């Protein structure tokens, strides 16, 4: 059973002009794929499949990027032929940040100072093909593996902060053996299946085009890929105490999806917010205060 924390609302000023470039890029991609899908749906599906493994990188400069210039420790984790940057600040129990698709570790930059003041060591990293990490493509299995390797490289973790699709990677890593005492999931999607359905809707893909992409996913990872990356199901086996943060104005991951995850995670509390959307959860003072309060109960 989940216990729901008090619902509160936070608002942040943001302009439509700030979102315009990203929206224009998405609109152009959507239109091009729709036209291509009408002419050659199978080829369009194969193109979507290639695109699906190639995350876009955050535009520079990144919010809180100045923290990267004053780390207490900077190491490089070799993962295959690629180098993964790992950043660390402070001493004490480790809190590991796991970003989402097309994100970067420094998206948790707002958490660094509050966590340091509370006596924790903060560890952030960029997954393959994200942030400053090498590579052009990756997938959730690899992100889960890298998450576990980073945790092992710092001697284990006390708590994990995860955002969006990063929540699936964390749950997969925990299922595969990652040990931690506490997990906070911000805007977790219900499953990779739901993520793919959302992708199809965002890009306006025909059912035939999307089906080609999904079939190629199964050929690459096996038919069990959907079960292995089903957070709604994986959350049933989570024994850690945790928190699921859901914003009512999230247009990337529906609140209903995140609630389905919460219903299966017996030791998770739920924090409902409004006005933050999908990404502003990452620097919400209310979210940080709630997590810090819960972490204090763990130590």
| CATH number of residue 84's parent domain | 3.40.50.1820
Kindly state whether residue 22 falls inside one of the protein's structural domains: yes
pTM of the model: 0.90
Given a cut of 90, is residue 229 above it in pLDDT?
Answer: yes
What pLDDT score does 297 carry? 84
Query: What is residue 106's predicted lDDT score, i.e. its pLDDT?
Result: 96
pLDDT surpassing 80 at residue 222: yes
Work out the average pLDDT over 251-261: 96
Asked if 89 contacts 116 with a C-beta cutoff of 8 angstroms, the reply is yes
pLDDT digits (tens, 9 = 90+) for 145-158: 999 999 999 999 99
Give the contacts of 28 (CB within 8 A, at least 6 positions apart): none
Question: In this predicted structure, what is the pLDDT of residue 25?
Answer: 59
Model confidence band, residue 62 (pLDDT cutoffs 50, 70, 90): confident
Closest C-alpha to 78, from 153, 181, 159: 153
- State pLDDT tens for residues 194-206: 999 999 998 899 9
Q: Which residue has the higher pLDDT, 4 or 161?
A: 161
Q: How many domains does the chain have?
A: 1
pLDDT of residue 287: 98
Indicate whether 230 belongs to any domain. Answer: yes
Q: Does residue 272 surpass a pLDDT of 50?
A: yes
For position 28, what pLDDT does the model report?
A: 79
pLDDT tens digits for 122-172?
999 999 999 999 999 999 999 999 999 999 999 999 999 999 999 999 999
Chain-wide mean pLDDT for the chain? 90
Give the residue, 8 or 53, on which the prediction is more confident. Answer: 53
Average pLDDT of the residues in 260-281: 97
Domain, as residue range, for 225: 3-9+18-54+72-298
Rg (CA), the chain: 19
Integer Cα distance of 183 and 197 in angstroms: 26
Query: Would residue 202 count as lying in a domain?
Result: yes
Mean pLDDT for the stretch of residues 80-92: 96
Residue 87 CA to residue 135 CA, distance in Å, equals 18
CA gap 22, 249 in Å, rounded: 19
Q: Which of 13-27, 137-151, 282-296 has the lowest mean pLDDT?
A: 13-27
Domain-located, residue 224: yes
Q: Is residue 64 part of a domain?
A: no
Q: What are the beta bridge partners of residue 159?
A: 95, 182
- Which 3-state string (H, E, C) describes 197-232? HHHHHHHCCCHHHHHHHHHHHHHHHCCCHHHHCCHH
Q: Is residue 62 part of a domain?
A: no
Is residue 98 a part of any domain in this protein? yes
Of residues 71 and 33, more confidence is placed in 71
For residues 282-288, average pLDDT: 97
| pLDDT at 27 (0 to 100) | 75
Residue 67 lies in a domain: no
């Amino acid at each position: 059973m989940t216990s729901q924390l008090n619902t509160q609302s936070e608002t942040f000023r943001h302009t439509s002009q700030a979102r315009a470039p990203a929206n224009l890029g998405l609109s152009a991609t959507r239109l091009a794929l729709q036209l291509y899908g009408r002419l050659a749906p199978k080829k369009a599906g194969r193109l979507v499949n290639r695109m699906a493994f190639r995350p876009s990188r955050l535009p520079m400069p990144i919010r809180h990027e100045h923290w990267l210039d004053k780390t207490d420790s900077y190491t490089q984790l070799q993962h295959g032929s690629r180098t993964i940057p790992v950043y660390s600040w402070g001493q004490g129990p480790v809190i590991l940040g796991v970003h989402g698709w097309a994100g970067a570790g420094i998206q948790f930059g707002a958490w660094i100072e509050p966590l340091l003041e509370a006596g924790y060591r903060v560890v952030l990293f960029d997954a393959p093909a994200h942030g400053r990490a090498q590579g052009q493509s990756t997938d959730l299995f690899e992100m889960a593996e890298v998450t576990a390797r980073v945790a092992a490289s710092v001697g284990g973790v006390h708590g994990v902060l995860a955002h969006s699709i990063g929540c699936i990677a964390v749950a997969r890593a925990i299922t595969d053996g990652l040990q931690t005492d506490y997990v906070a999931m911000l805007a977790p999607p219900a499953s990779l299946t739901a993520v793919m359905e959302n992708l199809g809707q965002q890009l306006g893909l025909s059912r035939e085009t999307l089906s080609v992409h999904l079939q190629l996913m199964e050929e690459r990872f096996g038919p069990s890929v959907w079960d292995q990356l089903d957070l709604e199901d994986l959350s049933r086996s989570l024994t850690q105490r945790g928190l699921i943060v859901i914003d009512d104005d999230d247009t990337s991951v529906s609140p209903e999806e995140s609630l389905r995850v919460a219903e299966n995670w017996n030791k998770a509390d739920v924090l409902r917010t409004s006005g933050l959307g999908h990404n502003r959860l990452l620097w919400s003072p209310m979210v940080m205060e709630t997590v810090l309060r819960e972490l204090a109960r763990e130590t």
